[in-house]
Structure 1
Amino acid sequence: MTNCLLLGPRRMAGAFARWEYGTAGWIRHIKGINFMRDIVTTRPAKRRTKPGASTPAGSQFAATPEKMQPFLRALAQEMEARQRTVLGDPVTPRALLAAAGDAQRQFGRTWDHVQSLNVVPHACRPGCDHCCFLTVEASAPEVFLIAEHVRTALAPEQLACLRGHLHRTAERIQRLTPAERVRADVPCALLEDGRCAAYPVRPLACRAWNSRDAAACARMRREGGGDLRPVQDQRPLGIDAGIQAGLTAALRAAGLPEDAERPCELNTALCLALDEPQSLERWAGGEDVLAPARAAVDYER
């Protein structure tokens, strides 16, 4: 599996990538730029270009948050407009699932475009699952999309097995900080034989997380910590943050649960979504049925 973990409260990818925090902790511990605030307020800096000089293709996607910010700010604004249309008024359960799917497709289109400008080889391959042992976070629409997928894609006995595994995993990790979870080597419950059981609808940050050196990931997992900055491409992480910023703004405008912008711990959230058949309908109606999964995300301990 390429990757299976999730960004936290979407801070701009760029400064510190530390394995022991997972993507969520990395984004949360970045110094300087609060993505959710600055992506829609910071004016792009004026660039000084010598007469006759040209701008290299893809230079705006250089692996620094400052250079990516104008593009990502525009991406967030475009996504908010798209998602408002997809969600509609009033918001229906099906519209929430459609919004999550649309966000995933938009990530794919945007990332394909960015890669076409400047290809950076990644080491992520099927069966490479080191990142699946990090803390996994997801937005509520992503949680419900995954729950819908496993309900329809798995046979009843397989679904029952997965639900049991989800509960056991949620119980194991509920008192662990992200760093402790890495040291405990607890995988995401969706991981099976090195593959993700929900790969077609895997969360955005799972799609964004990457490495150019699988051996470095294996070493950091084995040692229970380390710095991934030298082996990561920040561009997909920034794209994920931009898309999530737009989705969050649209959810907020639609009047969905007040804490909708806060991420959920994926295993705990899937337990809640799968145990209650009407969980999606209740959430769409304004009831924050995933609140316990948000409480499970605590990086200040």
Structure 2
Amino acid sequence: MTSDPFETAAVNEYQRSLNDIGKLKSTLAPLQKSYQRFDKIIATSIEDSPTKPACKAGCFYCCYYKVEVKAHEMLLIHEHMQKKLSAELRSQILECAKANAELIRSFTAQEHLSTNLKCPFLIENQCSIYEARPFRCRSFHAVQVDGCEASYNNPSDFTIATELIPDVSHYSDALSQGFEAAAMDAGFDHRTYDLNTALLEVFEDPAIEKRYKRGKKAFKTAIEVVDAEE
């Protein structure tokens, strides 16, 4: 067994998630369990750190950053919205996503990164799907608000650094990668999608979950995000 705590966390999460997925033949309930383990480990890591995050309710700067999701994350968000949010709120969220998607489809990758777009789930400076928010959002714990605010005010300035808590950041990466590797090895779609266009499609196409369960490409019209190295 490795002595690296982050590698150990990744391996443990991979094994537990793969076991859960195998038993349930789905990733949604296992993803919820993974989120719960993630939140506990990150909370402990923050407690053990001499540096604390500046993040708090009502701080919204990071909610204008570009966000990407995996198919299982969007499917869980869809389920959460259907069960927990009113029809009126769902409509408000989808209208924002539609406006964002129209802009995003006209952007280059560089323009998307350098443009502030309000997350469709940001309602009155609060996350409306906080319990079901994706790994990318759960992983963000800034030490200083100043960097977030500066990036928000100058989105095209990529020299602005956001200081994070190192151990918290490493655990976040390890745990999210552990689950994602388990989902991929179980044969599920492991592609990365733009949040706004995936959100619109998941409400328009009821066959997405069926394709996902069959190991097919879940989303047909959402923007697929491809790493530069691929």
- Residue 82 of structure 1 corresponds to which residue in structure 2? 16
1:54-65 pair list within 5 angstroms: none
Give the counterpart of 1:233 among 121, 146, 165: 165
| Unaligned runs of at least 5 residues, structure 1 | 1-39, 45-69
Aligned amino acid, residue 110 of structure 1: I
- TM-score, normalization: structure 1? 0.68
- Residue 150 of structure 2 corresponds to which residue in structure 1? 219
| Unaligned runs of at least 5 residues, structure 2 | none
Q: Structure 1 residues 229 and 169, CA, compared in 2 at 3 Å: closer, same or farther?
A: closer
- Report the CA distance between 1:190 and its aligned residue: 1.2
1:251-270 pair list within 5 angstroms: 251-257=183-189, 260=190, 262-270=191-199
Whether the 8 Å CA contact 2:52–2:165 is kept in 1: the answer is no
- Residue 78 of structure 2 corresponds to which residue in structure 1? 147
Aligned amino acid, residue 193 of structure 2: C
- Residue 177 of structure 2 corresponds to which residue in structure 1? 245
Query: d(CA) in 2 for partners of 1:119 and 1:100?
Result: 30
- Residue 197 of structure 1 corresponds to which residue in structure 2? 128
Q: Structure 1 residues 181 and 82, CA, compared in 2 at 3 Å: closer, same or farther?
A: same
SS of equivalent to 2:215 = coil
Deviations 1:12-39 (A, max 9, x none): xxxxxxxxxxxxxxxxxxxxxxxxxxxx
- Residue 102 of structure 2 corresponds to which residue in structure 1? 171
Query: d(CA) in 1 for partners of 2:121 and 2:103?
Result: 15
Whether the 8 Å CA contact 1:173–1:181 is kept in 2: the answer is yes
Query: d(CA) in 1 for partners of 2:198 and 2:118?
Result: 16
Whether the 8 Å CA contact 1:87–1:99 is kept in 2: the answer is yes
SS of equivalent to 2:27 = helix
Q: Structure 1 residues 74 and 158, CA, compared in 2 at 3 Å: closer, same or farther?
A: same
- Residue 72 of structure 1 corresponds to which residue in structure 2? 6
Query: d(CA) in 2 for partners of 1:124 and 1:290?
Result: 32
SS of equivalent to 1:138 = strand
- Residue 56 of structure 1 corresponds to which residue in structure 2? none
Query: d(CA) in 2 for partners of 1:286 and 1:230?
Result: 37
- Report the CA distance between 1:198 and its aligned residue: 0.9
Q: Structure 1 residues 145 and 215, CA, compared in 2 at 3 Å: closer, same or farther?
A: same
Query: d(CA) in 2 for partners of 1:279 and 1:188?
Result: 22
- Report the CA distance between 1:206 and its aligned residue: 0.8
Report whether the alignment pairs 1:282 with 2:216.
Answer: no
Whether the 8 Å CA contact 1:84–1:250 is kept in 2: the answer is yes
Report whether the alignment pairs 1:133 with 2:133.
Answer: no
Aligned amino acid, residue 166 of structure 2: Q
Report whether the alignment pairs 1:96 with 2:27.
Answer: yes
Query: d(CA) in 2 for partners of 1:97 and 1:283?
Result: 11
Q: Structure 1 residues 149 and 81, CA, compared in 2 at 3 Å: closer, same or farther?
A: same
- Residue 111 of structure 2 corresponds to which residue in structure 1? 180
Report whether the alignment pairs 1:273 with 2:205.
Answer: no
State, as a whole percentage, how many aligned pairs show the same letter.
23
Deviations 1:230-285 (A, max 9, x none): 6322322222221222112212221223xx1x322111111121212342233112
Query: d(CA) in 2 for partners of 1:220 and 1:253?
Result: 37
Query: d(CA) in 1 for partners of 2:64 and 2:173?
Result: 21
- Residue 156 of structure 1 corresponds to which residue in structure 2? 87
Q: Structure 1 residues 181 and 283, CA, compared in 2 at 3 Å: closer, same or farther?
A: same
Please tell me whether Structure 1 or Structure 2 has the larger radius of gyration of its CA atoms: 1
Whether the 8 Å CA contact 1:103–1:247 is kept in 2: the answer is yes
- Residue 30 of structure 1 corresponds to which residue in structure 2? none
Whether the 8 Å CA contact 1:177–1:299 is kept in 2: the answer is no
